[in-house]
Amino acid sequence: MTVYAIIGGTGLTQLDGLTITAALHLDTPYGAPSAPVLRGEYAGREVLFLARHGHPHRIPPHQVNYRANLWALRESGAKAIIAVNAVGGIQAAMGTGHFCLPHQIIDYTSGRAHTFYEGELEHVTHVDFSHPYDAELREKLAGALVAEGCAFSAQGVYGCTQGPRLETVAEIARMERDGCDIVGMTGMPEAVLARELALPYACLALVVNPAAGKSNVLITMAAIERALDEGMGRVKAVLARVLAG
């Protein structure tokens, strides 16, 4: 049976309903992960959980130790990863509260440790990243979203920015021209590191605000937090369906 690991982002620093059997404090060749890896049972199934930004939420996107996080999950027995991401909506369909299962990603980040293949290597390794998200896992998430009656897009392009600041109107306009549907700060290098470790990986993205220039009102953390509060119950229901399937 596949052991799923859930990486919780902003708004999901803990998984209500998870019966914890162990909190794994792991050291890795890349340092400490953001938080202990929690092993337990959720929806009747063994699951691993890791808070991407720590618990409490304290690590900004550009300082997350993505390599340590992915390595720790693999060492803990993860066979597939569901990443939960709070994002901004660029395309009109991506309104607040909408879900997106991205099928592609564009990386606008810089300076992040983005690969395991560096240093004194025996040989150079290139991984195929043509299709960054696992199709089978995306289909399972889509089925769960349908069953929960959630409005969602079965595909989309995730634009990953450096953060921690939000984007300018001009940057979002550029990203829209590039074909991005949603914008976030944590999609990379997480996705490619999972690929390097041969872990199937999919993103469950919840839109929590219109991106810059896509609304007549200022983006505020208060509004984002309200959207997170309203959406995380549905996120957890979707995860429970996938795990129980």
Question: How far, in Å, CA of 186 to CA of 11, rounded?
Answer: 13
For 38, the token pair is 């929690």
186 is in an annotated binding site: yes
10 is in an annotated binding site: yes
36 is in an annotated binding site: no
209 is in an annotated binding site: yes
List Cβ neighbours of 121 (8 Å cut-off, separation of 6 or more). Answer: none
Name the residue among 159, 183, 197, 164 with its Cα closest to residue 69: 197
List Cβ neighbours of 222 (8 Å cut-off, separation of 6 or more). Answer: none
202 is in an annotated binding site: no
State whether residue 190 is helix, strand or coil.
Answer: helix
| Residue 49, Cβ density class (10 Å: 0-12 exposed, 13-18 middle, ≥19 buried) | buried
Residues pairing with 31 in the sheet = 28
Residues pairing with 42 in the sheet = 45
- Per the annotation, where are the binding residues for phosphate? 10, 52-53, 186
Annotated binding site for substrate: 185, 209-211
Known binding-site residue numbers: 10, 52-53, 185-186, 209-211
